[in-house]
Amino acid sequence: MTDSTLTRTGTGVLPSQILRQMIDTGTISADPAITAPQIQPASLDLRLGTIAYRVRASFLAGDGRTVADRLSEFEMHRIDLSQGAVLEKGAVYVVPLMERLALPEGVQAVANAKSSTGRLDLLTRTITDGGTEFDRIPPGYEGPLYAEICPRSFSVLVRPGMRLNQIRFRAGQAVLTDDELRNRHATERLVDGPAVIDHGLGFSVDLKPGDGDLVGYRAKPHTGVIDLDLINHYDPAEFWEPIHTTEGRIILDPGAFYILVSREAVHIPPDCAAEMAPYLAMVGEFRVHYAGFFDPGFGHDAAGGTGSRGVLEVRCHEAPFVLEHGQVVGRLVYERMAEVPETLYGADLKSNYQGQGLKLAKHFKSPR
């Protein structure tokens, strides 16, 4: 991509049509070549390569070092993924990705787990040569990409080409201010209820469902392997314990992983993208979200949505914690798109989570 392209598109998150230009010019390259299904409205899916390295611990390359340098220090053994292989719960792996970057100085990137990856409690982060942060790639970076994968609740069967994480590119900074969010909400309603706006749009947890008393799921501690290629295949009862309450609160157990849902139904306008961020560490002994990208059109009427609630991936830390209905647990940070994407989330795309409520990953059958 050239500087003139940047000038034409302006500041903001780069849409699918610009991603195609970046692929054509070699800013994003891959072996084998990138396929059309990888290109999302505001991000690119990244594919696992053919080898996984079992490592002693999570690491960053560090300034002036390559990931290959650090693998020589931390590698325990390597696994051929070509026929499929199991990544075991509790272990840490580094997998070279098929894609690599040659970013111009005006473009930076941020990576994140895909929705289904996060809902499996599959901690997946992108690392780079010279990297000092997970999932953050600075302007001008030229080199390979790697996925660090740590299955937390379930062992998983993976193969080359599987897409566990995704990458978003932006030119400059285009985060909407709180005042801009308030103006947006006044004209097109970003949430279906009152908007709690404070450094982004607040997300609260729904523990008083309108129908029944099912409020979420807790991962079972001892389960079988999940083949990530199998969709609508597994019985949820073998992997998840349903959480019921009529009191509007639950107690989170230390070390446990939960799937909950936001009280708010969210709209992402076509000219915006959003990323979910944790609210504040001070609010409690838990962490919300592994998968944080919301595409243009998510829950938006222009893409066939009527508002989609955010699924909350919650892990409790050291102490039991009481989570109350309506408690703010996260926030959506909205950014402008450099251009409106050619195709929106949920419109002419196979979008698994448009119009969602409380929903497990796509690998599980719908609970009866």
> What pLDDT score does 358 carry?
87
Tokens at residue 131, please? 């990297």
> What pLDDT score does 224 carry?
96
> What pLDDT score does 352 carry?
47
- Could you read off the pLDDT tens digit of each residue along the chain, which spans 368 residues? 454 454 455 799 999 999 999 999 999 999 999 999 999 999 999 999 999 999 999 999 999 999 999 999 999 999 999 999 999 999 999 999 999 999 999 999 999 999 889 999 999 999 999 999 999 999 999 999 999 999 999 999 999 999 999 999 999 988 999 999 999 999 888 988 889 998 899 888 999 998 889 999 999 999 999 999 999 999 999 999 999 999 999 999 999 999 999 998 888 999 999 998 865 555 566 777 655 789 998 887 654 445 788 889 998 888 899 999 999 888 899 999 999 999 887 655 444 444 457 889 999 998 76
> What pLDDT score does 366 carry?
84
What are 249's strand-pairing partners? 324
> What pLDDT score does 4 carry?
47
Q: What Å distances lie between residue 210 and 206, 217, 259, 264, CA to CA?
A: 10, 17, 18, 13
> What pLDDT score does 305 carry?
46
Tokens at residue 133, please? 């942060």
* Distance in angstroms between the alpha carbons of the first and the last residue of the chain: 49
> What pLDDT score does 304 carry?
47
> What pLDDT score does 291 carry?
54
